[in-house]
């Protein structure tokens, strides 16, 4: 599935309410924070996608299981030049859980690129 279609199929992920940890000082010892725009996984309800920098040309995204996310902090939303708003959040993910980082790129033979090399 092309990356553009994959991200189009992913809908905005409505942040579910997470209970604030009793001891927020202990959270960094058991979890790691990841920041980005959360989206619903296009075909697996048990996972979510976190786009690191949604308006960048060189972005990547994370994929986590929802059970591995223990706490979500809402951050200020960002807006692009066309006025499209993206919700931003910081997800606290349990240490030692498995996540995936995906970086889309264009497959191109640099010897025959438009730069004439």
Q: In the chain, where are the structural domains located?
A: 3-112
Residue 85 has pLDDT above 50, yes or no: yes
Beta-bridged to residue 37, according to DSSP, are: 51
Check residue 115 and give its pLDDT.
57
The residue ranges of DSSP E strands in the chain, in sequence order, are 31-40, 47-51, 61-65, 69-79, 85-94, 100-102
Greater model confidence, 57 or 60: 60
Residue 21 neighbours by CB distance under 10 Å: 14
End-to-end CA distance of the chain: 30
Check residue 104 and give its pLDDT.
86
The single-letter DSSP state of residue 80 is -
Check residue 7 and give its pLDDT.
45
Q: If you average pLDDT over every residue of the chain, what do you get?
A: 83
Q: What is the pTM of this model?
A: 0.76
Predicted confidence band at 66 (pLDDT cuts at 50, 70, 90)? very high
Lowest mean pLDDT among 29-33, 42-46, 96-100, 103-107: 103-107
């Amino acid at each position: 599935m092309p990356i553009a279609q994959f991200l189009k199929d992913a809908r905005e992920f409505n942040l579910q309410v997470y209970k604030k940890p009793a001891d927020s000082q202990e959270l960094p010892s058991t979890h790691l924070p990841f920041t980005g725009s959360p989206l619903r996984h296009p075909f697996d309800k048990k996972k979510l996608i976190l786009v690191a920098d949604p308006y960048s040309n060189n972005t990547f995204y994370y994929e986590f299981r929802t059970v591995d996310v223990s706490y979500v902090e809402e951050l200020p939303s960002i807006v692009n030049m066309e006025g499209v708003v993206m919700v931003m959040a910081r997800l606290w993910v349990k240490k030692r859980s498995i996540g995936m980082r995906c970086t889309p790129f264009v497959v191109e033979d640099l010897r025959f690129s438009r730069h004439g090399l």
